[in-house]
Amino acid sequence: MTADVSVEGVQPLIEVRGLKKHFPILKGVFSRPAGTVYAVDGVSFHINPGETLGLVGESGCGKSTVGRTLLKLLEPTAGQIIVRGEDITGHNQGQMLPYRRQMQMIYQDPYASLNPRMSAGEIVGEPIVIHRAVTADERHDRVAALFERVGLRPELMHHYPHEFSGGQRQRIGIARALALSPELVVGDEPVSALDVSIQAQIINLLMDLQDELKLSYLFVAHDLAVVELLSHRVAVMYLGRIVELTDKSSLFEMPLHPYTEALLSAVPIPKYSARSRKRVILKGDVPSPINPPTGCHFHTRCLYATARCQAEAPQLREVVPGHLAACHLHDGGVKFPLEKPAAGA
Amino acid sequence: MTADETAAAPGPAILEIDDLRTHFFTQTGVIRAVDGVSYTVRAGETLGVVGESGCGKSVTALSVLRLVASPPGRIVSGAIRFGGTNLLDLSESEMEGIRGNEISMIFQEPMTSLNPLMTVGRQIAEAIVLHRGLSPRAAMDKTVEMLRRVSIPEPERRLHAYPHQLSGGMRQRVMIAMALSCNPKVLIADEPTTALDVTIQAQILELIRELQDTFGTAIVLITHDMGVVAENADRVVVMYAGRKVEEASAKVLFEAPGHPYTRGLLGSIPKLDVAARLDARRNRLNEIKGMVPSLHNLPEGCTFAPRCEFATDQCRAAYPPLVQHRPGHAIACWHADRLLTGAT
């Protein structure tokens, strides 16, 4: 069953249903299975053409794994990935080729994601070579145009990655992702390694490119302020599951999941007046995805948890039209602001 | 502590950095990482030091504890006065009596600053034995008390844990316990929460505030995160390319910043902002053009001029002096008067 809400009959560019990615933990010389990391444990969402879906959560919540599995850089353990109505989950490498052109990725670390032995021009042109998109003559012009588009001087094509600053490298990574005119770009924390003033430049560039090229983004990040700025809709993940999914204004104004509420409240706001606000401070650490808590994964840190939360995992469901949350608190009707149910309720 | 409105009940100055210059002498030339920085830390306050990578905020702090690797680094000139003595005049053994005892430091990545081969209990107790002269047994008791203070559950058991057995947040708590175990007058926290998730960051910042209330420690909070500064600092120093470009109370800095760089920084960060949310269109951020100049090759005149929208020939010719525009509000900009009175 898809738990996501499709809007006004638009065919989603991409849709995932019940996506799971589990990693076995192997021990010893004979690689005996010794456990499982439940990195992604049943997530469903879609992304419409031209839209940005923000995917937020803390380290280890599985957000990056979702991004990678979506592009089939990792094979999903279960679930379906549907591109423009076609199920690509079982596609082999060859069958995936045309889809790879349409779906590209930008990585977090601008230092580790560029081959140091290739010039910037070769890096950006490589996808064009692999997919034989244009002839060799046209390739140079194409790469030069991409350089200009992302704000790099085309003369820099012959320089090597170490000659660029972090922000410039990230521009190279973006140019490479755009080389095949994709429809979907997955950004895995693309601005979190950058200094603030450079981060703003890259965020603006990503927004401009989306407007101009009608790109769809899956924007994976931990910084809620950045996600708010870039996204149309936002999914919040906790320990492998989506706990809340809605358009960004609903999420930031009316968080319906206790984890979202705490996350929003924990983000430091760069305004002096912000220091007087009331804050929700969670106790404890994020539990391990190897051995997640029973029932609702969040119950160990939740301020509103009841005995039921320990036993029964809440389904992600539409609590308010267009606003999905996975929390038992709303079973008797929407509760906002959130409050702990009276004893015995 | 959320000291409100008037952070202007200042305690006495306990740490004064005076015209500090720390340079690195490399094969490719001299890097002026810290180039004439002065600031004062007052008893019990939190001083925020902000700036982007390479602005010299960490090197300044390392210079205070004389932890700059030498060679290639060297404190070329200046003074660091702590309780009437210039730390730069002390011998290495005298410095050891200050470090971790009078002035402590916590770092961004607790995994690399803890000894992986020693249990956390022994690491903390070691400092207590060294500085306080307690017996090993008494030091262990004190260690348990400190671990409890920083809200580590089951401190008697955690004593025997190795750093890799703890989560990032727990390791940072251990670092804080160690740093505060000798009740220092000044705690230098260099990006203490940068490596942590936001919900854990909130816990650690709250812990630091509580401990500050309890122990009255002055804190130098070094960070690139303007949000962390806005919510925690009483006063703020903004650094750019090895110099202090602005200093003000947190209220003034965030509500009426003077230096174009400070304004640019504040404009370039996305804020969880209700006003922006009402506008269905996404707002572009105000970017600061260009990038931080290489310290190898700083421009003539004001180092920010090449990126500054207000720059004039005067800016490109000479570095502006740091001028007090109002009590407690110092700005190094030729056009600060115009900017402060003009459009906000």
Mean per-residue pLDDT for B208-221? Answer: 92
Selected residue of B238, B240, B255, B287 to mutate for chain A interface (largest A Cβ count, 10 A)? B287
pLDDT at B233: 96
Taking the C-alpha atoms of residue A240 and residue A60, their distance in angstroms, rounded to an integer, is 8
pLDDT at B14: 94
Q: Tell whether A269 lies on the interface with B, counting CB pairs under 8 A.
A: yes
| Contacting residues of B for A199, CB less than 8 Å apart | 268-269
Strands B243-249 and B329-331: antiparallel
pLDDT at B344: 43
Q: Which of A199, A223, A279 sits opposite B202 (nearest CB)?
A: A279
Mean per-residue pLDDT for A218-247? Answer: 94
pLDDT at B2: 41
How many Cβ contacts (< 8 angstroms) between chains A and B?
138
Taking the C-alpha atoms of residue A103 and residue A92, their distance in angstroms, rounded to an integer, is 16
Taking the C-alpha atoms of residue A127 and residue B326, their distance in angstroms, rounded to an integer, is 57
Q: How far is CA B271 from the centre of its chain?
A: 22
pLDDT confidence tier of residue B276, bands split at 50, 70 and 90: low
Strands (E), A65-125: 78-83, 86-87, 103-106
- The share of chain B scoring above pLDDT 70, in percent, equals 93
C-alpha separations of A227 from B67, B98, B263, B282 in Å: 38, 44, 22, 11
| Contacting residues of B for A285, CB less than 8 Å apart | 167, 169-170, 200
pLDDT at B294: 82
Q: Tell whether B276 lies on the interface with A, counting CB pairs under 8 A.
A: yes
pLDDT confidence tier of residue B9, bands split at 50, 70 and 90: low
B15, B218 in Cβ contact below 8 A? yes
pTM (predicted TM-score) = 0.87
Cα–Cα nearest to A272, from B242, B250, B305, B7: B250
pLDDT at B4: 41
User: Nearest CA to CA, how far is B90 from chain A (Å)?
Assistant: 36
pLDDT at B330: 96
pLDDT confidence tier of residue B274, bands split at 50, 70 and 90: low
Rounding to the nearest 10 degrees, give the CA dihedral for residues A247, A250, A251, A256: -130
pLDDT digits (tens, 9 = 90+) for A176-228: 999 999 999 999 999 988 888 889 999 999 999 999 999 999 999 998 989 99
| Contacting residues of A for B287, CB less than 8 Å apart | 197, 200-201, 204
| Contacting residues of A for B266, CB less than 8 Å apart | 270
pLDDT digits (tens, 9 = 90+) for A105-146: 999 888 889 999 999 999 999 999 988 878 888 899 999 999
What is the complex's ipTM, to 2 decimals?
0.85
Is A268–B284 a contact, with Cβ atoms under 8 angstroms apart?
no
Q: Which of B52, B199, B269 sits opposite A263 (nearest CB)?
A: B199
pLDDT confidence tier of residue A345, bands split at 50, 70 and 90: very low
pLDDT at B264: 92
Q: Which of A165, A208, A285 sits opposite B167 (nearest CB)?
A: A285
pLDDT confidence tier of residue B33, bands split at 50, 70 and 90: very high
Mean per-residue pLDDT for B129-152? Answer: 89
Q: Tell whether B277 lies on the interface with A, counting CB pairs under 8 A.
A: yes
| Contacting residues of A for B285, CB less than 8 Å apart | 200, 203-204, 229
DSSP A152-170: --GGGGGS-GGGS-HHHHH
Q: Tell whether A264 lies on the interface with B, counting CB pairs under 8 A.
A: yes
pLDDT confidence tier of residue B3, bands split at 50, 70 and 90: very low
Whether the predicted pLDDT of B243 surpasses 80:
yes
